Amino acid sequence: MTDPMDAIRATFFEECGELLEQLEAGLLDIEAGRQDDDTVNAVFRAVHSIKGGAAAFDLGPLVTFAHEFETSLDRLRTGVLTPDRQAVALLLKASDHLADLVRVAANGGGAATEHPPDLSGLMQSGPPGSATEIPDDPFDFAPIKVDLDLPGESDDTTDFVERGTSWSIGFESDPSLLSSGNEPLFLFRALQLFGRLTVTSDARALPPLQEMDARVAYLHWSINLDASANDLTDIEVRSVFEFAEDLCTLTILPPEDTLGQEDDDDAEFGLFEPLRVPDRDAENAEAPEEPASIAVPQAPPSASGPDDLAPQLTVARSPSLATSIRVDLDRVDRLVNLVGELVISQSMLAQSVMRAGLEQHSEASAGLDELQQLTRDIQDSVMSIRAQPVRSLFQRMTRIVREGAQATGKTVRLETEGEGTEIDKTVVERLSDPLTHMIRNAIDHGLESPAERVAAGKPEAGVVRLSARQQSDRVIIEISDDGRGIDRPAVLRRAQERGLIPDDASPNDLPVERIIFMPGFSTSTAVSSMSGRGVGMDVVQRAIRDLNGTVSLTSTDGEGCTISVSLPLTLAILDGMIVRSAQQRMVIPLSAIVETQTVEAARIEPLRGNREIVRLHETFVPLVDLAKGMGFLPGVAPGQPERADDEADRALLFVKTEDGGPYALQVDAIEAQRQVVIKGLGDSFGRVPCVSAATILGDGQVALIVDPTGLAHMAGIKRDGAAVSSKEVALQ
């Protein structure tokens, strides 16, 4: 069995991640001048909670720094520290360092990668003249396990002294004892664990009934404890009164001090009927005339130990945090996987039913329809478990924008919209890097300097806009800026210099919107401090494509640029077209298909080099035979009809790629449109060009899912395919 503390430890680090996010978001709000008490308190609490948890796991360096950080934030909270630019910058640094320490601790310790920022500046700044009023650190925090807070711990020398067993305890409660929830009876019960108890109450302070306040403690008590062990210590006895000690006058006389005192042992325990556990009102209302002896009733035996309590465990944990539960991602993924299997076996069942030749309206088909609907509902519900709002992702971008603005000296405002839009958790995580890069690009290349902006009649502050919205089964994320737009001639020049396009190519052949995504094209003319990190838009595109998404870019001169990322709601299910080619069934993602046509052979134009093109509306597009493109030999299986000869009509799918125009994919037959469950090829395959994944079809057969962009690359039509073929057509 795993140690439950491991799970809590995992929870702690997970929670740290959330708290660090809150911390940063709060600090950025403060930086933006949006600080109210709530923000400052939230920031303080985030660090405080990290400290608390870290102390529980004995994570020394983390505790120490969190404490220091917390102290600075407390100064912010109490208004001693003014959150000027410098202070906030330092606090942000501190939050980075804290994140660093958390990471180190999560990875099992070691040293932080960076030195801690010096927070002493925060301890000295403040409104003039206020420095002297600053109290010393009010939190004398140290990660100590127990705070007994007991006086006289050190001078207790009686520990090892053999002595008698009769203790005498005087307990005079303050009137306010009861209102703190300290119940004398309970304290006596706790004392009783040490031995036999005789309690005498002094009710002289009890007022007449009509003047009595049930919440006031009027009684004083003298207790005689006949300890069952003779090594009972003063500390043990006192610890019973720990929480009440400041609300009473307590005198504890150990046995040797009571020698010679009257041993008031005639009140034999058991001589008195155990009193019913009096509730407070009754206890106070009961007015014994003079000091009276009562035996403290035993706690009900049925509840005296954990074992006896065991049956209570079955009691439903009624109103505990019912609104949400946290589930390990692995479990959800297993569920997703199982639902995938369900979809597959449901479609297998559908095929069997069809093959059985049952009537269309038979009970079996009706039941199957229902099953299909249910399966789809289950699938949607399971997928929604993995869905997460993009809010945290967008929040992280605030930081990127801030850093970008600082690095370039531009003034940038980030606007966000649709933060509540939900998308698969994995997608959210894997979008962070591409989004970061696109935002850096927008600030570095898109936005003009403040002076240029003013000259162009724009507001000085540039705007980067981040929006998310759901569009049927996809989520569209847009990153736009109100900058100068893409410098088309410069992009073209650059691409020519790099040999990416022919020297005589014009923007009409290949729009700059597409050139930007070419591998090897760096949008930066000089290695700038920001986006010039060798990462181009092609890498962004690759990352998005890995998520089954697409990227496109539109730019308007002088008005700015918008990059639109379209992503599937989920990574596990794909709408696809099942096609047959060379006796293989394969799946083409529906999202890539522009249209399907059956084309007469005569409409296909041959080109040099055994290539073919076909007319699609007003343009010619290259044609790729799926089987050839994938490397399958056409028509080899014995007993199968020869593949479509040159004279026969051809089934074509016009598919689009992310970095080029559409092309035609020739297949033997288009079978059906289906939702398929995406199954990874597994690690042993590595990356297979032109195959994005596999699926299991209704008949149990495995089919590959084709990556149309990869296929275009393999077939050599690549990005400039459209341009080349239109030229060659012109030559004919």
Partner 1 sequence: MRILAIDDSRTIRDMVRLTLDREGFETVLAEDGVHGLEVLTSMEEQPDAILTDVNMPRLDGFGFIDAVRQRDEYSAVPILVLTTESARELKQRAREAGATGWIVKPFDPARLVGALRTVTGLK
User: Of the candidates 474, 467, 476, 480, which has an alpha carbon nearest to the alpha carbon of residue 419?
Assistant: 467
60 vs 54, 101, 105, 123, 137, CA distance in Å? 8, 10, 9, 22, 19
Are the C-beta atoms of residues 262 and 185 closer than 8 Å to each other? Answer: no
Among the candidate windows 35-43, 90-98, 543-551, 573-581, which touches partner 1 by CB under 8 A? 35-43
Determine if 249 is a binding residue for partner 1 (CB under 8 A).
no
Q: Rounded distance, CA 120 to CA 94, Å?
A: 11
Determine if 189 is a binding residue for partner 1 (CB under 8 A).
yes
Provide the token pair at 403.
Answer: 């850093």
Among the candidate windows 52-60, 88-96, 487-495, 526-534, which touches partner 1 by CB under 8 A? 52-60
Got the DSSP string for 345-378? HHHHHHHHHHHTT--TTSHHHHHHHHHHHHHHHH
Determine if 268 is a binding residue for partner 1 (CB under 8 A).
no
Provide the token pair at 606.
Answer: 């041959």
Return the number of the residue (216 or 599) whose C-beta is nearest partner 1: 216
User: Of the candidates 485, 547, 539, 559, which has an alpha carbon nearest to the alpha carbon of residue 659?
Assistant: 539
Single out the residue of 32, 259, 292, 303 in contact with partner 1 (rule: CB under 8 A): 303
Are the C-beta atoms of residues 536 and 521 closer than 8 Å to each other? Answer: yes
Determine if 1 is a binding residue for partner 1 (CB under 8 A).
no
Single out the residue of 21, 42, 267, 478 in contact with partner 1 (rule: CB under 8 A): 42
In SS3 terms, 383-419 reads as HHHHEEECHHHHHHHHHHHHHHHHHHCCCEEEEEECC
Residue 316's contacts (CB-CB under 8 Å, 6 or more residues apart) are none
Determine if 136 is a binding residue for partner 1 (CB under 8 A).
no
Among the candidate windows 80-88, 145-153, 429-437, 587-595, which touches partner 1 by CB under 8 A? 145-153
Determine if 235 is a binding residue for partner 1 (CB under 8 A).
no
Among the candidate windows 83-91, 301-309, 664-672, 704-712, which touches partner 1 by CB under 8 A? 301-309
Q: How far is the CB of 315 from partner 1 (least distance, A)?
A: 6
Among the candidate windows 106-114, 240-248, 363-371, 445-453, which touches partner 1 by CB under 8 A? 240-248
Determine if 21 is a binding residue for partner 1 (CB under 8 A).
no
Single out the residue of 28, 169, 240, 715 in contact with partner 1 (rule: CB under 8 A): 240
Surface-to-core class of residue 427, CB atoms within 10 Å of its CB (0-12 exposed, 13-18 middle, 19+ buried): buried
Determine if 306 is a binding residue for partner 1 (CB under 8 A).
yes
Residue with tokens 């014994």: 288
Please report, as residue ranges, which positions from 310 to 349 form the binding site for partner 1 (by CB under 8 A).
310, 312-313, 315, 317-321, 326
Single out the residue of 17, 61, 116, 143 in contact with partner 1 (rule: CB under 8 A): 143
Determine if 215 is a binding residue for partner 1 (CB under 8 A).
yes
Q: Rounded distance, CA 21 to CA 46, Å?
A: 9
Residue 425's contacts (CB-CB under 8 Å, 6 or more residues apart) are 329, 386, 387, 388
Single out the residue of 32, 131, 161, 193 in contact with partner 1 (rule: CB under 8 A): 193
Question: What type of residue is 94?
Answer: A
Determine if 65 is a binding residue for partner 1 (CB under 8 A).
no
Q: How far is the CB of 307 from partner 1 (least distance, A)?
A: 8
Determine if 282 is a binding residue for partner 1 (CB under 8 A).
no
Helices (H) and strands (E) in the chain, counts: 21, 23
Among the candidate windows 126-134, 296-304, 354-362, 552-560, which touches partner 1 by CB under 8 A? 296-304
Q: Rounded distance, CA 535 to CA 523, Å?
A: 9
Binding residues (CB under 8 A) for partner 1: these are 4-5, 7-8, 11-12, 14-15, 38, 41-42, 44-45, 48-49, 51-53, 55-56, 58, 138-141, 143-147, 149, 178-183, 185-187, 189-190, 193, 215, 240, 242-243, 246-247, 277, 280, 299, 303-304, 306-307, 309-310, 312-313, 315, 317-321, 326
